[in-house]
Amino acid sequence: MNAVDKALSPKAALRLISGNHACALGAIAAGCRFFAGYPITPSSEVAERLSRLLPEVDGVFVQMEDEIASIAAVIGASMGGVKALTATSGPGFSLKQENIGYAAGAEIPCVIVNVMRGGPSTGMPTRPAQGDIMQSRWGSHGDYPILVLAPASVREIHTETLRAFELAETLRTPVVLLYDQVIAQLTETVELVDVEGSARAERKWASGPREAYQPYAANEDRIPAMSRPGAGYRVHTTGLNHAENGFPTQQPEAVARNLGRLLAKFDRHRDAIDSWQAIGCENAEVVIVAIGISARAATRALDIARAHGVRLGLFRPITLWPFPETALREATKKARAVLVPEMNAGQLSLEVERILGGKRVDAVHRFNGEPIAPAEIAERAETLAKESK
Amino acid sequence: MIVDSAAEFDVRDYLRMEMMPHFLCPGCGHGIALRALLWAIHELEIDKDKLAVVSGIGCAGRLSAYIDANTFHVTHGRPLAYATGLALARPDLHVVVITGDGDCLAIGGNHLIHACRRNLKLTCLMLNNEVYGMTGGQVSPTTAETRLTTTTPLGNSEPNFDACALAAAAGASFVGREVTHHVPKLKELIRAGLEHPGFAFVEVLSDCTEIFGRKNELGSSAEMVLRQKSELRPSAYRDTVDTPFRSNELPTGILTKTERPEYGAAYRKAAAVQRANKASADANKGKA
């Protein structure tokens, strides 16, 4: 092997790759063996990479007829017991929502990549945005739990893809991997961790006699064991509200009990779910709260402000939903104000305002397809620091 | 009383009896179709543990819950897409889709034509009762012209789909149609579909007596079933009925059967070749 071959080998530790490529490699390392997707800018590279990688590991890649079919096929593959992924962008993410709700309600593990581009509607396909923060949490109808991870670098896309599968499988839930067009198509040198696909936490599978098995049993950890088709359990899976036995019910007590368990199922797993990065928050005058490329810009803004004698901090939720509320309160305890730079007309700032009720929360909202520059964030934060003295 | 030719077939062996009584209306043809499906499964000795039934939304969609197998009641219009993922990921399973005319041809029409084109090993049983029964009797893509429904109070003025012609045109390698009046014939057709090594589309002409029949004054359920012979004009009865055929006669039986590569097998074969090539290339590199 020459140096170039080595650098291109999936086993090489250091690689110069794009975010979407890192996602594909992370999926393979996580044990993902099924991908269904539909071409859409700026996420198509995830599909293109996996169309080559999956056959090499005896996995299946399929390009479906539309976005809805893609998520449906992914859920179908996962119902068969195979780790599955789809990738899309705004318009496709909207189309997938009904079936994401199905996966949440029937508790079928799967990972959905949503690369955010300009919106609404067709918007700006090749320009970045962060306009799907609320859709990723509330996009499907009814009440349901969902996990959303928001990586901010190519390396983190890789590690968060691994974590997305781990959380999806162990907590029986859809997980959305949410990142913007900049991070998706940014090329960075990254050290890939866990490229050998070390043993990872797996789905809890049904065991014991069929008669004693309840597909939606209210276990201590609130995560019911799943049955693999062919293992003899022959259960029913439905999008209708169901009882512990998996069959539809409209009996109020049974619905309240089972939907209640579903809605509360993450509560006992917040240690594994919550993830954030806090930089310099302990003595910051103003704490910036941001995700993705806006957080990358904010990191630089910290340096600019420091040169001007203003102490800024950065709080970056890596698990975006459920929002790491306790950690945010802790990180902003001493700050006089909070600034939320985000590439939309105001989404993350709403959640931050809700959590920090009473504290001054300003925002930089940008929806013209241009990332927010570090100098702009620094300037607004410095002004905010002065005003709130 | 129906006497099964396969004497040992007891439909209760394939049903979740704890789910009885079922929720189908008296006279509904869907139960007959379900029985024919289970009879065919019995004859083919398909292992219930290896049987996966995926169904959509509507009266037909609810049938999966009654089958003692791995059953998946999914979103409206999408059972073929779910089944595609399941069958590709688990080629060891026998995957059957149960869908209705609205589920399959309206909201799910795109998935049908692409499933026909793709030719993945799946059996799609479309129960056509000409109406959205579950939602109270609205017009469907297969409702005949002039028929009354809750959304065509003036009579349906849209032409209806010939689902089998559609499936054949989209490339389905197996297409068949049968009526609920003739259970053994229906069972034989479904059996042939289950045995087909590719995508099999089977349309079952089923009656919605309570809603569609009542609205259009088509008589009792028995009269509706008999009308399958005299008015629907399935080709199965061409020689047996004495009234003249109408122009919209519907052919029944196996309408299309062709041999072409099954998608899942073709994909796995290509992948195996790629892996082998890569392995030998890596080995050669090691020698050099």
Alpha-carbon distances, residue A167 vs A83, A100, A277 (angstroms): 12, 16, 19
Instruction: Please identify which residue in the block is written with the tokens 């034989």.
Output: B188
Q: Is the pLDDT of residue B204 over 80?
A: yes
The Cα–Cα gap between A135 and A94 comes to: 8
Collapse the DSSP code of B147 into the 3-class scheme (helix H, G, I; strand E, B; otherwise coil) and give the result: coil
Question: What is the Cα A43 distance to its own chain's centre?
Answer: 14
Which domains, ranges and CATH numbers included, belong to chain A? 3-191 (3.40.50.970), 277-387 (3.40.50.920)
Residues lower than pLDDT 50 in chain A: 1-8
Q: Can you give the pTM of this predicted structure? A: 0.95
Q: Using a CB–CB cutoff of 8 Å, tell me whether B22 touches chain A.
A: no
Under 8 Å between Cβ of A124 and A369? yes
How many domains does one find in chain B? 2
Q: Which residues of B touch A54 (CB under 8 A)?
A: 271
Closest-CA residue in chain A for B15? A234
Judging contacts by C-beta atoms under 8 Å, the chain A residues touching residue B93 are 80, 229-230
Residue B3, in any domain of the structure: no
The answer to whether position B147 is within a domain reads yes
Residues B66 and B31 in one domain: yes
Position B5 in a domain: no
pLDDT category at B251 given cuts 50, 70, 90 is confident
The pLDDT-based confidence of B215 (bands split at 50, 70, 90) is very high
> What pLDDT score does B242 carry?
42
Distance from the Cα of A116 to chain B's closest Cα (Å) equals 25
Mean pLDDT over the full length of chain B: 91
Domain housing B268: 263-288
DSSP lists the bridge partners of residue B253 as B177
> Does B72 sit within 8 Å of A76, measured CB to CB?
yes
- Which position has the higher pLDDT, B266 or B286? B266
**d(C-alpha B224, C-alpha B173), whole Å:** 31
* Per-state percent for chain B, helix, strand, coil, to nearest 5: 45, 15, 40
- Are B219 and B269 within one domain? no
On the 0-12 / 13-18 / 19+ scale of CB atoms within 10 A, A264 is exposed
How many whole angstroms separate alpha carbon A132 and alpha carbon B278?
A: 40
Nearest to A364 by CA among A383, A350, A343: A343
Q: For residue A28, what are the contacts with CB-CB under 8 A and spacing of at least 6?
A: A10, A50, A53, A54, A57, A59, A197
Q: Please, which residues bridge with residue A110 across strands?
A: A174
For residues A264 and A284, give the distance between their C-alpha atoms in angstroms, rounded to a whole number.
34
Please write the tens of the pLDDT for every residue from A199-235. 577 899 999 999 999 999 999 999 999 999 999 999 9
- Identify the pLDDT of residue B195: 98
Same domain, B124 and B77: yes
B2 lies in some domain: no
Both B48 and B26 in one domain: the answer is: yes
CB A377 within 8 A of CB A364: yes
pLDDT at A328: 98
Closest-approach residue (CA) in chain B for A98: B75
Q: Does residue A210 belong to the interface with chain B, where contact is any CB pair within 8 Å?
A: no
B91 shares a domain with B53: yes
**Tally of CB atoms within 10 A around A353:** 17
CA distance A183 to chain B (A): 29
The SS3 of residue A226 is strand
Q: What is the pLDDT of residues A57-75, one digit of tens each?
A: 999 999 999 999 999 999 9
Say whether both B26 and B132 belong to one domain. Answer: yes
Under DSSP, the state recorded for B63 is G
User: Please, which residues 101-120 of chain A have a Cβ atom closer than 8 Å to chain B?
Assistant: 102
Neighbours of B197 (CB within 10 A): 14
Query: Which strand ranges, in their side-by-side order, compose the sheet holding A276-279?
Result: A276-279, A312-317, A286-289, A337-342, A360-365
Report the residue of A53, A79, A233 to disrupt the B interface, i.e. the one with the largest count of B CBs within 10 Å.
A79
Write down the pLDDT at residue A5.
47
Q: Determine the straight-line distance between the first and last CA of chain B, rounded to whole angstroms.
A: 77
Shortest distance, CA B35 to any CA of chain A (angstroms): 19
Same domain, B274 and B160: no
| B267, B273 Cβ separation under 8 angstroms | no
Contact B178, B228 (CB under 8 A): no
Name the residue with tokens 């975010």. A19
Instruction: Please compute the mean of the pLDDT values over residues B220-239 and round it to a whole number.
Output: 72
In tens, the pLDDT along B13-51 reads: 999 999 999 999 999 999 999 999 999 999 999 999 999
Q: Provide the β-strand partners of residue A188.
A: A17
Q: At residue B5, does pLDDT exceed 70? A: no
Q: What is the ipTM of this complex?
A: 0.95
Same domain, yes or no: B82 and B176: yes
Q: Which residues of B1-40 are buried (b: 16+ CB within 10 A; e: fewer)?
A: eeebeeeebebeebbbeeeeebebbebbbbbbbbbbbbbb
Q: HSE-up of B72 (CA within 13 Å, CB side)?
A: 36
At A173 the three-state DSSP class reads: coil
Within-domain flag for B287: yes
**pLDDT (0 to 100) of residue B234:** 57
- CATH code, B146: 3.40.50.970
Q: Which of A55, A66, A238 sits opposite B73 (nearest CB)?
A: A238
Rounded CA-CA distance A78/A98 in Å is: 17
Token pair in block for residue A218 = 């209210």
State residue B244's pLDDT score. 39
- CA-CA distance, B163 to B171, in Å (whole number)? 13
What the block records as the tokens of A309 is 């004698």
| Residues in chain A closer than 8 A to B278 (CB atoms) | 56
For residue A54, CA distances in Å to A39, A89, A199, B119, B190 come to: 17, 21, 19, 21, 34
Residue B4 lies in a domain: no
Q: Say if CB B268 and CB A55 are below 8 A apart.
A: no
Chain A residues lying within 8 Å of B84, measured CB to CB: 36, 62, 64, 69, 72-73, 76
Residue B164 domain-assigned? yes
Reply yes or no on whether the pLDDT at B236 is more than 90: no
Q: What pLDDT sits at residue A2?
A: 45
Write the DSSP symbol of residue A59.
-
Q: Is A382 helix (H, G, I), strand (E, B) or coil?
A: helix
Cα torsion A305, A306, A310, A313: sign: positive
Same-domain check for residues B143 and B183: yes
First CA to last CA distance, chain A: 61
pLDDT (0 to 100) of residue B228? 81
pLDDT value for A6:
46
If asked whether residues B170 and B210 sit together in one domain, one would say yes
Contacts of B168 (CB under 8 A, 6+ apart): B175, B255, B256
Judged by CB atoms closer than 8 Å, whether chains meet at A76 and B93 is answered as no
Instruction: Say if residues A50 and A85 touch (Cβ distance below 8 Å).
Output: yes
B94 and B193, same structural domain? yes
CA distances from B139 to B23, B109, B132, B159 (A): 22, 16, 6, 11
The set of residues, in sequence order, having a beta carbon less than 8 Å from that of A72 and lying 6+ positions away, is A64, A99, B74, B75, B78, B81, B82, B84, B85, B111
B102 inside domain? yes
| CA–CA dist B58, B4 (Å, integer) | 29
Q: Which residue of B has its CA nearest to A249?
A: B19
Question: Which of B19, B73, B89 comes nearest A82 by C-beta?
Answer: B89
> Are residues B269 and B192 part of one domain?
no
